[in-house]
Amino acid sequence: MTQSSSRTYRLGEIVTQLGGELIGDPGAEIRRIATLESAGPGDLSFLSHSRYRPNLQHTRASAVILAREERDATTLPRILCDDPYVYYARAAQLLHAEDRPVPGVHPRAVVEADAEVAASATVGPGCYIGPRARLGERVIIDAGCTIGAEAQIAEDSRLHPSVTVYPRCLVGKRAVIHSGVVIGADGFGMAPEAGRWIKIPQTGRAVIGDDVEIGANTTIDRGALDDTVIEDGVKLDNQIQIGHNVRVGAHTVMAGCVAVAGSTRIGRHCTIGGAARIIGHVTIADHVTIAAATVVLKPIPRAGVYAGVLPSAPGREWAKTVAHLRGLDGLVKRIRELEKKLSKSGKRKR
């Protein structure tokens, strides 16, 4: 049984809660958010870029969200604000809030006797809550999750189905963790000995801050000795790999399939594009943007935009480019030899 928080809002109620300047009928009923092109009666739409302005003339939306300088762009009821895209995001949260399960532990869940589960928390079917684990107020643990011994999930966090949190790991307040995420598995620590590998016990934790969102099937390894730390407000997309002892600074975002090797330090407010690769033991400054598929092999000490990807090309052209790249070492040697000869020649003429 669930408690639904979805409802129809009047336009004036939205402005009362979210701010902005309302022009037009405050009583217009709004049920959902839609694009200008697909919107119909009861929909609230938005114009976030000038290239979509032609769609504004033909939209069937009941109301629209506009930048303040677009005040006269339509005669429809409208909300004027500083950033229509951000306003749209907040309106969408308001209109499409998730249903909240009724608190309690499902009969088919297993909760160890010394675990602490707040009375306002929800534990779904097939879950396992380990010894001395703690679930805070209003935490939601959906079906099939495993919370290891002494792990802690702070208040108002939600774990979607089949999330695993290993022993002693911490998840902060208001976290959203999607299906298949694994927090606190062993980092890839091996020591070579006589042609074979000796496993290094991973004794640290994975510590997740407040207001973090982690996408489906992302993995965050526990630290070898110190903790792996994901600071407050970080947003991680699907299928990301975070190695052991990594620290990701507050409010950094990563797109899908990023891989971060062990002991890397990533600053605050960074943006990392999809499929980027970051080698271990490097430090990246605050406010760095790394383009999609970039390979980072050395520290980035200053804010800015960084990229390092050869674009795709027709197969024969690409093969020729690779052949040239392979010949660079030889070319460099020849240039150096020529420079020496020219230098000697210049000295003789003097």
The catalytic residue positions are: 244
> Tokens 């534990």 label which residue?
123
**Strand stretches in 155-234, DSSP E:** 158-159, 164-165, 170-171, 176-177, 182-185, 190-193, 196-199, 206-208, 213-214, 219-221, 228-230
List, in sequence order, every residue forming a beta bridge with 164; answer none if it has no partner.
146, 182
DSSP state of 240: -
Q: Which amino acid is it at 7?
A: R
Interhelix angle 328-349/315-326, nearest 10 degrees: 50
List, in sequence order, every residue forming a beta bridge with 78; answer none if it has no partner.
23, 64
Q: How far apart are CA 203 and CA 197, in angstroms?
A: 18
Name which of 209, 277, 267, 213 is nearest 242 in CA terms: 277
Q: How far apart are CA 308 and CA 306, in angstroms?
A: 7
Name which of 236, 299, 233, 238 is nearest 266 in CA terms: 299
The alpha carbon of residue 59 and the mean position of all alpha carbons in its chain are separated, in whole angstroms, by 32
Q: How far apart are CA 65 and CA 84, in angstroms?
A: 6
Q: Which tokens hold the place of 184?
A: 């606190």
